[in-house]
Each structure stands twice: as C-alpha cells, then as structure tokens.
Structure 1
Amino acid sequence: MKLVWSPEDALKAYIDTVKSCEKLKETGVAELLSAMAAGWNTKFIVESWSYGGAIAASVGLAVAARNTGARHVCIVPDERSRLQYTKALAEAGVSAPAEVVAGEAEAAVARLSGLDFLVVDCRRREFARVLRVAKVSPRGAVLACKNAWHRNSCGGFRWSVVLQRGVRVVRSVFLPVGKGLDIAYIGSGSRTLPPPPTSSKAPSRWIKHIDQQSGEEHLFRES
C-alpha cells in the first residue's frame, strides 16, 4: 500500500484552510501544506511549534487532519507554548489536536513511528536532528521545512545528508512560498511515493538554481 493522490481531497482542504485563515493575514504556506496533507490522504501528521511562531501552517494541518481523519501530533517546547498554540487555533475556529506534546522535539519525534507527514521549522536549531530521527510510514512520507530561507545562515543543507541512512529521497523541491518551503518525498524500502499529479493544462516550466554557498540545488516552478 502506498500514498495515493486525491485532487478532490486536496481542493477541499485548500478551500477550508483559506476560510479558516481569513483573519490571520498569512497565506500560501498554510493552504499548500493543508492541500498536500489531505491530497496524499496522510494518516499521521506531526509538526513542531514554539511560542510566538506563526499559527497559519498549524491551522492548515489541523484542517487536513480533520478532513482525512489523521492522527495529528504537535510538539511544543513548554507549557506556555502549549497554551498559546491551543488558544491561537481556537481563535482561528479550529480545534487543537488531541496530542500536544511539551518537550524536546528530537526526543518526542524519536518516540513516534509511522508518520507520513512531518513539518519542522528551520528557525529552530534542532530541526535537522528532528528530520534525522523521524520514523516514516512503510507507505512513504512527505517531509517539509518551513522558514527554509533561514537555513542559509546556518550552513549548507542537503536532504541526503540530514536523513537517516537508507532513507531514500524520491524527489525534493524548494518553493519560494512564505519564508521558503522545502519539501521532500520519501520512499520506504522499495516502495516510493507516486509522482505529483499531472494536469491536462500546458506543463509548467521548472527553473534550476544552485546556491553558490552551500551547493544545494533548488527547483522553482514557473506557471
């Protein structure tokens, strides 16, 4: 069994997230993550969040979890963050996930198994370690780094280096959405995620850019 793309579920989650984020004045990342999580029909969503962080992406993930019936876990550093996270989601009209875990993100993720959608914040110093200890589902997984532009000040980043040995990156893409969104599609063993759905419209053009400092390759899609 593998992740299967559903454009109908993706569109529904996208629209629901747009409605939920109307008052937040934060667009782009939330809708994209929500559509992806719901479109892949993910069943175990994990995110990290800390006090003072933008809440829109969390709203989008909560919407996707509600639409697919997924288990949704948010990891926060302390009780203050837990209270703020729950309050911010409530103000957006979205219920907080039943599992809001306070503690060190790396240790918390290491205790979880079978996740198929993980979102980390690159502003947190431990984000790379969190990615490394993630135990993905046999169906494969989607890993996303938000605020990815921040990594430029923290040295080079390569998915193949950060992830555990034996974890295969089927494909990755960097999107100039929000403050940068880097997404990797992960295969588990011989199983891989299907390619993103194609459109009957004229194909988009992909532009390749290589970071001169880190040597990392980024792909940008031009409509």
Structure 2
Amino acid sequence: MKLVWCPDTASKAYIDTVKSCEVFEESSVAELVSAMAGGWKPQLIVETWFHGGVITTSVGLAVASRHTCGRHVCVVPDEQAKLDYIEEMRKACDISPEVIVGEVEEVMRSLVGIDFLVVDCRRKDFARTLSLAQLSNRGAVLVCKNSTARSLNFRWRSVVDGGSRIVRSVNLPVGKGLEIAYVATGGISKGSSPGKATTRWVRHIDQLSGEEHVYRR
C-alpha cells in the first residue's frame, strides 16, 4: 500500500483554506500545503511551530485533517509556546489540533506512522526532526518551510534514514521557500545495513497519463 493522490479532497482543502486564510500573511504557503495534505489523505499529520511565527500553515493543515479525518499534531518546544499557539489558532479558525510539548528526540519517539510532516527551518532542530521521524509504511510527504531563512543547503538523503527512498523532491519559491520530498519507505529498517535489504524499489512511468509509480519487488 502507498499514498494515493485524491484530487477531490485536495480541492476541498484548498478552497476552505483560502476562505480561512484570506486575511493572513503567507496564505499561499498554507493553501499549497493544505491542498497537498488533502490530496494525499494522510492519517497522521505532524508539524513543528516556530514560536512567534505565522499561524496560516497550521490553519491549512487543520483544514486538511478535517477533510481526511486524520490526526493533526503540532510539536512546540515549551508550555508558553503551547499557550500562544492555541490562542493564535483559536483566533484563526474553529479547529484545534493536538499540541505536544517536548524535545524533538522524545516527541518523535511517540509519533509512529507519520505520512505528512511539515518542519519550520527557523527551528534549530528541523533537520533532527526529519531524521528522527517514524514514517508510515505507505510512504510520506516531507515539507520544509522558510527554507531561505537559513540559506538551506542540505541533501534529503542526509536527513532521511536508510530504510526510505526519495522518490521525488522539489524546491518552490513560495513564501520564504519550500523544500518538498515524497519518500517511499520499506525494505530496510532503521539501523540495518542497506546492503542486507531483501527488496528493491522499481520506478515506472505510465506512458499515457505521465504519472510516476514506485513499487517494491
């Protein structure tokens, strides 16, 4: 099983996010991320919030989670950040995501099966968050927002464990920069040697639709 794109849900999430974020800054990022989350229909959406940052991405993800009936979790560093985040979300929309406080090493151990992850590059632990994420067996979409804030220069392979394969990645000049990757998982478990894998990924492009399919053999 793998993540499958659902255009109807993506459209609904996008439209509702436009309505919710039309008076906020950086609404374009929220609209894009919401449509992506809605389209992939993830069951576990996780994001990290930079204290004092704009709330629109969270609104977009909250809208998408409502359409997909998935779990939406926001990770914040301390209790004050939690209070501020909840207050900002209360002002922005009527959806309240789950908020978890703690260090990234501790929090990511408790979140298993992530299929949509959004990290803010203004947080010092963004790369660590990506590397510790326990991704879903269906695969996952990883998003780094505000990538130009740190003059981001990293390879996805350096922050994704050996049991995952980068199927596609893209850099978009939206907001303050978006780095996006679709990751296929399986075949190699964390901590194992890639050379001992018993399966391999095969890439196939449909000549009629142009769609790319990745499956395991």
Pick the TM interval, shorter chain: 0.7 to 0.9
Identity %: 56
Matches within 5 A, 1:70-149: 70-97=70-97, 99-149=98-148
**1:63-91 deviation per Cα after TM superposition (whole angstroms, max 9, x unaligned):** 00111000111111111111111111111
Which residue in the other structure is 2:54 paired with? 54
- The whole-number CA distance in structure 2 between the counterparts of 1:192 and 1:86 is 43
Which residue in the other structure is 1:14 paired with? 14
CA contact (8 A) 2:25 2:54 kept: no
- The whole-number CA distance in structure 1 between the counterparts of 2:201 and 2:136 is 10
Q: How many residues align?
A: 195
Distance 1:91 1:151, change over 3 A: same
**1:155-187 deviation per Cα after TM superposition (whole angstroms, max 9, x unaligned):** x30001121123110010000000000000000
* Match 2:180 to one of 167, 178, 183: 183
* Structure 2 portions without partners, runs of 5+: 187-199, 211-217
Q: Is 2:28 the counterpart of 1:28?
A: yes
Q: Is 2:176 the counterpart of 1:170?
A: no
Q: Is 2:40 the counterpart of 1:43?
A: no
Distance 1:43 1:194, change over 3 A: farther
- Any idea what SS the aligned residue of 2:114 has? coil
**1:33-86 deviation per Cα after TM superposition (whole angstroms, max 9, x unaligned):** 100001011110000113201100000000001110001111111111111111
The one-letter code of the counterpart of 1:187 is A
Which residue in the other structure is 1:65 paired with? 65
The one-letter code of the counterpart of 1:89 is M
Cα root mean square deviation, aligned: 2.2
- The whole-number CA distance in structure 1 between the counterparts of 2:148 and 2:57 is 16
Runs (4+) of structure 1 moved beyond 2 Å?
Answer: 189-195
CA contact (8 A) 1:187 1:193 kept: no
Distance 1:26 1:56, change over 3 A: same
Distance 1:127 1:192, change over 3 A: farther
Shift of the alpha carbon at 1:94? 2.9
TM-score, normalised relative to structure 1: 0.81
* Structure 1 portions without partners, runs of 5+: 201-223
CA contact (8 A) 2:166 2:182 kept: yes
- Any idea what SS the aligned residue of 1:100 has? strand
- Any idea what SS the aligned residue of 1:32 has? helix
Distance 1:5 1:32, change over 3 A: same
**1:193-216 deviation per Cα after TM superposition (whole angstroms, max 9, x unaligned):** 998xx999xxxxxxxxxxxxxxxx
